[in-house]
Structure formats: C-alpha cells, structure tokens
Amino acid sequence: MHTFNQWGCVLALALWVSGSAMASTDTRLQPGQTVNASFTQAQQPTWTVQLKAGDLVQGRLQGDASLRLLDAQGQALRLLIDGQDQPREFIFIAERDGAYGLRAEALASRPQAAYALSLKQVISASEQKRTAAPLQSPTLRELQQQLAQGATSEGFWQARQQQGTPMVEAVAGQPGVALVTFLWRGARHNVRVFGAPSGNHDELQRLGDSDVWFRSYLLPASARLSYQMAPDVPASDDRRMILASTQRDPLNPNSFADGSGDPYLSRSRLELPAAPAQPWVAERLGVARGTLERKVLSSKLLGNQRDVYLYRPAQWQTGAKGQGLLVLFDAHAYTRQVPTPTILDNLIADGLIPPTAALIIANPSDLSRQQELPPNPQFARFMAEELMPWARQQGVAASAQRTVVAGSSYGGLASAYMGLKYPELFGNVLSMSGSYWWGREGEEPGWLTREYVKAPKQPLRFYLQSGLFEGPKILDTNRHLRDVLLAKGYPVEQVEYPAGHDYLQWRGSLPCGLISLIGKGRATLAQACVPGR
C-alpha cells in the first residue's frame, strides 16, 4: 500500500472536529480587515461575521491551514479551503441573516503553522444583477407546454431524479452529436455552470416562472468534462464571484475530485457514451503497487522549500538500465484528482511502459506557482542543479531519453521550457493544455514558441494535448507550437479531445503521453488514447 494513503488517513483524523457553539473565543471580523494567528496558541479563535441573506463574502486564507464555515451555533456548514490544495481565496453566499463563523484548522503535516485571514469584501444581494439565456431542448419545450396548461414541474424532476443530470438527448440525423442540457432546481436569482463546454462560466435560463433553470449544448458524443453548478451568484465575469456558490450537481450521481467529501469543493462528471475509456486510473486487484513518500526539499537558489512526492514502482531497481522517470508539476492535483501512482502501477503491469519512478513536485504556495512555472530561469536552475541531483541521491535517476517532464496548464508550459533549457536531463515533454499564450511583461504572447523558433533543434520528443472546449487561447497556441516543432524536425504527437481545461481529461492524457513518449512499442497507442471523432 502507498505510504501516502497512510499519511492521508492521519490528515483526515486531524481535520475532524466536533461542532461546538461559538462562545468565548469569538472575534468579530470586518470587511477589509486582516487577522493573524498561529496554531501554537493555547486557544484557537473563531472569527465571526454578521451577514444578511444573499450577502456574497470574499476573502483569503494565507498559510498552511484549512478553513471551515460555521453557523451561529458553531456547527460546520462547509469547508471553504482545503489546506492540501492550492487555492487560498474563498467566496460564499449567506443563506440567512445572522452570525457566521470562520475557523482555521491545522494540517497534520503543519501542526504549528501561522496563518493570516483576510475578509476582503461583503456584497449585498441588492448589488447583484441578473440575466437570462435561450431555450433549446425538445424535452423542455414539452414541459413548457405542460406548464402553460397548468401542470407542475414535479413529473419532470422525478424523471431527472431517476435518470440523472445533465439531460442527454439524441439529435436527429447526427449520430455523432448529443444535446446536453444542464439543469438546476429552485434558484432565486440566477444559475451558472462552471466548466461549461464553451470554456466560460455560462448562465442558465429560467423556464418561465417555474423552478427549472437550464442551458443546452450540442456536443460530440465522445465529450468528457467535469463541472460545478453555481446558484444565486452575481452576474459577473469575475471567476471568483462564481466560485462563491459552486458545488456538485445534486442530481448527477457521478462525482470527480471529491476527496474532501465537501460538495462545494468537488465536481460532477459528464462522460458521453463514446468518450475514450480511462482504463488506468482505478486500482486493480493483483497489480503490484509502488510506494509514495512525501519528502521536503529546500532550495538555496529559490530561498524556499517544497514537498516532493517520490514514487518508486514495485519493480524498481536502483541503477538498472531501461527504467524511466516522470518529473511532474502540481502535486496538489497529481496526487489527488489524478492518481499518478495508480496510473503508473497499471501501465507498468500492462507492459506499456518500463518500470518508471516519479517526482511529483508541489508548489510552496498558490502565488509561487504563478512565479515559478511560467518560464523562469532561476526555477529551471533549481530543477537542473538541485532537484535532479537530489533525485539521483534518492536512487531514481534515468537517462534523458527515458525521462519525461510533464504538467498541465502552466505546468505544460514549464515542461516545454525545461526541455528547451536542459535537454540533457529532460528528453521528453508531456504537455497537457499548456499555457503557450504566455508572454513576458511588455512582450507579445507566445514567448516560448518564439524561443523554439530561434533555438537549434534539441534531442527532444513531444506529446501535446489540448481540449476542444478550451477556446483559442489554449487550442490555437498549442497548434502553433505543434507547427513550429514539426517545422524544426521534432518528433511530435499532438492530440485534441472534446474536453476542457480539466483534470478529468488530464488523468487520461497523462498515461497516453507516457505510452507515446517512453512506451514499449510506442508507435501504436492503446485504443483508449485515440480521441473520439
């Protein structure tokens, strides 16, 4: 069993607390105020905020801690911030008038951490605007007629309870297309779908004055995405405002990334019938399991320290030839939403890749991620001069030809940059939805692509994946990089799936990229790695 699983159990136990009424430790918190505290204090405060129903609350918790929202009696309402993950901003909507509590909770790995809690703003319901969207679904048109004749929506919702949501309908004459309708019951003002196929935070429309809110999309029958629903939020293009009430779709039984168990932090999953299988993400009986250790690595070059998760497969032999190494960014996601150790266990067991170890690199903070992963020469030096020598000391070195540097979004951008800077260490680049739109301050977008144009060809292989739902910012810039690399003579496999900027897709793309780059017989990919048409 992975040692990481054991550590996770300890963490879960540390985070469990029983509800208790807010009493002597209550401290009022006002908009614009920041308070500081530490878990070394004998008595931990619960910060209180007086709110009206519908108020939108925005704030930030800085430090290694979780943050829980409490009601006036001190009972837990929801987990606003999971301290194991990167986001530190929080937003929520007050459901009723009264006092609310904000309680910081220590992580088992950081039992004496200090933290700073900021209440940025409170926006009243009267300041929040409203809009609408059009009707498409045949089923909803039928319901509209029934409502006009005096019927209720009860039968419609009973059917949704049995069949689940979103509602998927066939499209006449288009067997490769489905009409997908996202639904919400009973919002007061508006609803948005976060993670919509448009790549935006799309608004739902209310069906007359009923309790039915909806939005329909024509999608390829092979689409896959995860999403959240957001009822009663301001009509704003600010992503943070929508996050105030994002939560799982209550009528969709298929969830994703719900390790915390909190419906506000996890997502719902939509996989249409023709979506390629993801056969390597689930643990299997009879498969030898590697080990996962959390270690702390300090950097003199960067002046910080970070967790590095070290995975060794069951068959790993230090110094043996032909073994592989995966160097992967964003450990907060690739040890949780994407089960990297399990994926490697299964790929190795299926004989699709050689025994392959992994270094899964955490970000010291959400802000450091924005500073380090976009092309940063000092961070590249850390990777080459501190991380990789440390990896050799841990006994997980591999040749550049069998070393893959990988990541998604900024992590994909960083991977391509590491390959360009240090091809003698990282011979394979696995980029998922890489942020190749990025440009240095004062320069045009696409900086790294221009660097590849100028640089001589290096001994590198590439696997580039992007999603058809991500929009031109990602899709077009990935295609541009592909064209540049092919013109320079690099071996490149570039694939596009009907998916978004989404770990649900990336957990399938990671194994496919490994098969393509260091797999055994890599010229022919498994059927699961062929994008649906």
For 317-354, how does the pLDDT look when each residue is reduced to its tens digit (9 = 90+)?
998 999 999 999 999 999 999 999 999 999 999 999 99
Residue of 255, 198, 260, 261 lying closest to 228 (CA atoms): 255
37 by DSSP, 3-state: which? strand
pLDDT for the residue 287: 96
pLDDT digits (tens, 9 = 90+) for 228-251: 999 998 766 676 777 788 999 999
43 or 49, which is more confident? 49
Mean pLDDT of the residues in the chain: 90
Residue of 189, 185, 192 lying closest to 156 (CA atoms): 185
Give the CA count within 13 Å in the CB-facing half-sphere of 135.
Answer: 13
Residue 2 has pLDDT above 50, yes or no: no
Minimum mean pLDDT among 20-34, 64-78, 138-152, 484-498: which range?
20-34
What are the phi and psi torsion angles at 299 (to 5°)?
A: -120, 120
375 by DSSP, 3-state: which? coil
Helix (H) or strand (E) holding 480: helix 472-488
pLDDT for the residue 81: 94
* Number of residues that make up the chain: 533
What is the identity of the amino acid at 153? S
Residue 92 has pLDDT above 60, yes or no: yes
Residue 193 has pLDDT above 60, yes or no: yes
What are the phi and psi torsion angles at 528 (to 5°)?
A: -65, -15
Residues 412-423: b if buried by 16+ CB within 10 A, e if exposed: bbbbbbbbbbbb
Q: What is the mean pLDDT of residues 484-495?
A: 98
pLDDT for the residue 226: 96
Residue 533 has pLDDT above 70, yes or no: no
- For residues 249 and 255, give the distance between their C-alpha atoms in angstroms, rounded to a whole number: 9
Q: By the 8 A CB rule, do 179 and 168 touch?
A: yes
163 or 27, which is more confident? 163
Q: Which alpha helices (H) appear in 229-361, and where do they start and end? A: 239-242, 331-334, 340-349
Residue 113 has pLDDT above 80, yes or no: yes
Residue 303 has pLDDT above 60, yes or no: yes
Domains and CATH numbers, the chain: 3-127 (2.60.120.380), 138-271 (2.60.40.10), 292-529 (3.40.50.1820)
Three-state SS string over 422-457 comes to CCCCCCEEEEECCCCCCCCCCCCCCHHHHHHHHCCC
Which residues have a Cβ under 8 Å from the Cβ of 125 and sit 6 or more positions away? 52, 53, 54, 55, 56, 189
Residue 423 has pLDDT above 70, yes or no: yes
Q: By the 8 A CB rule, do 461 and 428 touch?
A: yes
Q: What is the mean pLDDT of residues 7-27?
A: 42
Residue 418 has pLDDT above 90, yes or no: yes
Residue 329, beta-bridge partner list: 361
Residue 454 has pLDDT above 50, yes or no: yes
pLDDT for the residue 20: 40
- For residues 185 and 211, give the distance between their C-alpha atoms in angstroms, rounded to a whole number: 5
Minimum mean pLDDT among 78-87, 151-160, 406-415: which range?
78-87
